[in-house]
Amino acid sequence: MDGLRRLADAWHRRVMADEVVAHAFSHGFHPQHVERLAAYWAEALGGPTTYSDTYGDETTVVKIHSGNGEHDEMDRRAIVCFDQALADVGLANDGALRPVLHDYFAWATTTTMSRYHHSADDVPHGLSIPRWSWDGLQV
């Protein structure tokens, strides 16, 4: 968890410094955004279910990211910020872990988090946090 929290903090700092991605946070964000993000990533990567047990399900997360129209450039830049955050925490040269984390983040950013462009009301109820492993999405 400590490593994911450092990664979430590094990513958050990067996106807040990016003029395009920071726009997504212009309405504000939860004071424990970094901790919640780390818990979400931990669960998505096969760790404890702290996020689901404490904060909400995938529907909750996807609704937060929905109803804002298409934002391909923002998504691309968020992924670049993630890759830079991997470098910030010393994972840029990890030949095994870095590509798995990159692929997870890129997939989540361009699919589940950007699927419902028109309205958060379109997000189905009861979604579970998708699980990602060394082999990609687990179904």
Domain layout of the chain by residue ranges: 2-138
* 2-138 has CATH 2.60.40.10 classification: no
User: Residue 81 has what pLDDT?
Assistant: 97
**Per-residue model confidence (pLDDT) at position 112:** 85
pTM of the model: 0.91
Residues in the chain: 139
Give residues with Cβ within 8 angstroms of 132, minimum separation 6: 44, 45, 46, 100, 103, 104, 107, 108, 138
Helix (H, G, I), strand (E, B) or coil at 1: coil
Which residues is 138 bridged to in the sheet?
Answer: 131
Residue 71: the pLDDT is: 81
- Check residue 114 and give its pLDDT: 85
Per-residue pLDDT of the chain (139 residues; tens, 9 = 90+): 999 999 999 999 999 999 999 988 878 788 899 999 999 999 999 999 999 999 999 999 999 877 676 888 989 999 999 999 999 999 988 899 999 999 999 999 998 888 888 899 999 999 999 999 999 999 8
Query: What is the structure's pLDDT at 68?
Result: 76
pLDDT of amino acid 117: 85
pLDDT for residue 118: 84
pLDDT score at 108: 93
